[in-house]
Chain A
Amino acid sequence: DTAVSQTPKYLVTQMGNDKSIKCEQNLGHDTMYWYKQDSKKFLKIMFSYNNKELIINETVPNRFSPKSPDKAHLNLHINSLELGDSAVYFCASRENVGKGQETQYFGPGTRLLVL
């Protein structure tokens, strides 16, 4: 009965590789997010999709490409991984973009380590 799930939980890879992380929510929400949490626990939004449409695209290198095949899934592909990409990546979802529905629900995180 997991609400927001992410795979994999841990990802260790070499610099220069390409990797994907996946997110699924079974809450019936329309909006999904990717956040990056650095080693100091700072959480920063990267992307947001509403009903498969990109609505937030923060200042993120274009090596990062989100993809939403349907509103329950939001994947994140990272090309040419760099050491600075090491972080915990969280997926979140929210019911809709309207007022009264701002609460975001987070997944367990994907711990990415680039060597």
Chain B
Amino acid sequence: GESVGLHLPTLSVQEGDNSIINCAYSNSASDYFIWYKQESGKGPQFIIDIRSNMDKRQGQRVTVLLNKTVKHLSLQIAATQPGDSAVYFCAENIDGGGNKLTFGTGTQLKVEL
């Protein structure tokens, strides 16, 4: 399943399928991007990050893709599990000095059994 982030705030996928969560960022000068997962009642939890000099980075079951030409970031989750159900946020480092993250709207991922 795939979402366009800001326009489709909820993404429903079947357990075992791959999920793609998209994010459009705002500042072409941003040089660092990060994905967070927020489960219900908890604080955002770091998943994976990527610098602007890369276009792809892989973690355990997750991959982040960065397309600077169109200012687009995506998070791919392989073999989605029920524990992946959460709100996912992208964030960009927008001030160049590395101190301030600006968060996107968030996408709710629902994993159906």
Contacts and interface: CB of A to CB of B under 8 A. Distances in A.
Interface SS, B side: strand
Contact of B49 (A42, A50, A94, A103): A103
Interface string A87-115: 00010101001110111111111000000
Interface string B84-108: 0001010001000111111101100
A39 to B, nearest CB: 12
Q: Which of B38, B43, B103 gathers most chain A CB within 10 Å?
A: B43
Contact of A43 (B32, B89, B93): B89
Contacts of A98: 98
Interface of A: 4, 31, 40-45, 48, 50, 55-56, 90, 92, 94, 97-99, 101-109
16 contacts: A42-B103, A43-B44, A43-B89, A43-B106, A45-B100, A48-B99, A56-B100, A97-B99, A102-B93, A103-B34, A105-B46, A106-B36, A106-B43, A106-B44, A107-B43, A109-B43
Contact of B98 (A45, A102, A105, A108): A102
B12 interface: no
Interface residues of B, number: 23
8 nearest CB pairs, A to B: A106-B43, A43-B103, A106-B44, A97-B99, A41-B106, A102-B32, A108-B43, A102-B98
A99 B98 contact: yes
B42 interface: yes
